[in-house]
């Protein structure tokens, strides 16, 4: 609804012949927005200093093509079909073939034609306005497609074919383990729907098994916890599970899924070093072309899971460092530790406090305040006065 409101607000530029330029030169303004396999090109036609029309075109099959290439092709196609070519054409970015296009356009009319990329001023505002139109119209197209239950994003159709999946993987869940030699082990799970992250469905896991630094055991634990819960709550399972790692991690996930009665659940392993894809029942890794849209999406999902896990791991490690440092001090238990962190805001502030501050601000008995000061200032005068 918000997007429609924005589009309706922008419609005034179609109907109002507002004077936008001080001179009366004829100009065409081009801008384009693209996402996934779709693009939207918008043209403002300015005649005698007024916007007399706004035209938009939807383009398809543009996945992984540079915006410059898409725009250049569109301009060639557009002016092939019209003899109405103004003296100036404003673009959102430079084209490699600008000079050739200028010569070609000029040969079709009785005047010279210039392709211009405005950087500042009113001309740049026109480009920005045109680009805003293109973005909103493209988003509206995306919303219309998503309303159609039969619509399958191009990249998901490609992934279904590349990985031989039973259906397009609209719902993908990806797992990553993070720890440093077994310390503060955590796991993350990210969720992608229709090729886009759905952060409300992200999950964090504190690893419960504390035996040894065993990434395979950790993966078995989080897969078991995640899908035992989904089964218990009778929630939909993902169309594809991705685990960050090679054969070992994949085997760990498959072992648990089989025990849960989910032997038919699609699952793959994605090894980072060579971007190899491991599929259950296949001894050899599968390699997708580096330019493959399926691989690029899988990489994005895996990298997002890794980022999410690393962030959570750092948070846990910082929390442990704070608590363990204070827990080493005689007289500081859990309650006093938490009170000190709440009062001072950080371990650094506690470390920098003198004895008087620890007693008056930290509300510690003098004997315990001395313990805290001595812990952070070994060898100094025990008065702690600064």
Q: Domain limits of the chain? A: 2-147, 156-318, 328-376
CA distances from 141 to 33, 50, 60, 193 (A): 12, 28, 11, 17
User: Which of 26, 33, 136, 44 lies closest to 93, judged by CA?
Assistant: 33
Q: Distance (Å, rounded) from C-alpha 194 to C-alpha 154?
A: 10
pLDDT truncated to tens, each residue of the chain (386 aa)?
555 565 555 555 444 445 566 777 899 999 999 987 889 999 999 988 888 889 999 998 887 788 899 999 999 999 999 989 999 999 999 999 999 999 999 999 989 999 999 999 888 999 999 999 999 999 888 887 777 766 778 889 999 999 999 999 999 999 998 876 556 788 899 999 988 899 999 999 988 876 566 889 999 999 999 999 999 999 999 999 999 988 999 999 999 999 999 999 999 999 887 789 999 988 888 898 888 889 999 999 999 999 998 888 787 777 766 666 777 788 888 888 888 888 988 878 888 899 999 999 988 999 998 888 888 887 666 555 54
Q: 352-370 pLDDT, tens per residue?
A: 899 999 999 988 999 998 8
pLDDT of residue 3: 55
Which fold does the domain 328-376 belong to in CATH? DNA polymerase; domain 1 (1.10.150)
Question: Beta strands 50-60 and 38-47: pairing type?
Answer: antiparallel
pLDDT of residue 180: 66
Total-model pTM? 0.58
Q: 62-113 pLDDT, tens per residue?
A: 877 888 999 999 999 999 999 899 999 999 999 999 999 999 999 999 899 9
Cα angle 377, 380, 382; round to 5: 95
CA distances from 238 to 151, 241, 297 (A): 18, 7, 16
Q: Do domains 2-147 and 156-318 have the same CATH topology?
A: yes
User: Which of 218, 216, 224 lies closest to 184, judged by CA?
Assistant: 218
CA distances from 60 to 17, 64, 67, 322 (A): 31, 12, 13, 54
Q: How many helices and strands, by DSSP H and E, does the chain display?
A: 13, 12
pLDDT of residue 386: 46
Domain 2-147: CATH architecture, name and number where available: 2-Layer Sandwich (3.30)
Q: Distance (Å, rounded) from C-alpha 60 to C-alpha 119?
A: 29
What φ, ψ does residue 221 adopt, rounded to 5°? -65, -50
User: b/e per residue, 313-326, with b = 16+ CB within 10 A?
Assistant: beebbeeeebeebb
pLDDT of residue 325: 75
Q: Distance (Å, rounded) from C-alpha 110 to C-alpha 92?
A: 26
Decide: 13 and 51 in contact? Cβ < 8 Å: yes
Rg (CA), the chain: 30
Decide: 201 and 171 in contact? Cβ < 8 Å: no
Q: Distance (Å, rounded) from C-alpha 13 to C-alpha 181?
A: 61
Decide: 65 and 93 in contact? Cβ < 8 Å: no
Let me know if 183 is exposed, middle or buried by CB neighbors in 10 A (0-12, 13-18, 19+): exposed
User: Does domain 156-318 sit in CATH 3.30.420.340?
Assistant: yes
């Amino acid at each position: 609804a918000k997007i429609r409101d924005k589009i309706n607000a922008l419609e005034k530029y179609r109907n109002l012949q507002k004077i936008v330029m001080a001179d009366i030169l004829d100009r065409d303004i081009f801008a384009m927005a693209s996402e996934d396999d779709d693009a939207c090109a918008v043209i403002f036609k300015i005649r005698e200093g007024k916007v007399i029309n706004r035209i938009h075109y939807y383009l398809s099959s543009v996945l992984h093509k540079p915006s410059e290439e898409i725009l250049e092709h569109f301009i060639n196609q557009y002016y092939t079909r019209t003899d109405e070519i103004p003296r100036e054409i404003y673009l959102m970015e430079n084209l490699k073939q600008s000079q050739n296009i200028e010569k070609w356009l000029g040969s079709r009319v009785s005047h010279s034609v210039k392709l211009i990329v405005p950087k500042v001023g009113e001309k740049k505002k026109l480009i920005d306005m045109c680009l805003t139109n293109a973005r909103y119209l493209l988003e509206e197209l995306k919303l219309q497609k998503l309303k159609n239950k039969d619509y399958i994003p191009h990249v998901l159709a490609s992934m279904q074919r590349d990985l031989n999946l039973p259906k397009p993987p609209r719902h993908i869940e990806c797992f990553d383990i993070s720890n440093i030699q077994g310390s503060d082990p955590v796991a993350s799970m990210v969720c992608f729907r229709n090729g886009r992250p759905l952060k409300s469905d992200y999950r964090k896991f504190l690893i419960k098994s504390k035996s040894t630094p065993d990434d395979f055991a950790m993966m078995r634990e989080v897969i078991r916890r995640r899908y035992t819960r989904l089964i218990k709550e009778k929630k939909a399972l993902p169309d594809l599970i991705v685990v960050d790692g090679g054969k070992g991690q994949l085997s760990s996930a498959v072992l648990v899924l089989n025990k849960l009665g989910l032997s038919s659940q699609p699952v793959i392993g994605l090894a980072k070093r060579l971007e190899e894809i491991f599929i259950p029942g296949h001894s050899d890794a599968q390699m997708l072309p580096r330019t493959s849209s399926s691989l690029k999406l899988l990489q994005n999902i895996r990298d997002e899971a890794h980022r999410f896990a690393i962030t959570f791991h750092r948070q846990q490690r910082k929390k442990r460092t704070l608590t363990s440092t204070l827990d080493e001090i005689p007289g500081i238990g859990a309650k006093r530790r938490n009170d000190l962190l709440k009062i001072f805001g950080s371990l650094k502030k506690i470390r920098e406090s003198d004895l008087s501050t620890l007693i008056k601000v930290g509300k510690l008995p003098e004997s315990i305040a001395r313990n805290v000061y001595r812990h952070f200032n070994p060898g100094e005068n025990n008065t702690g006065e600064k």
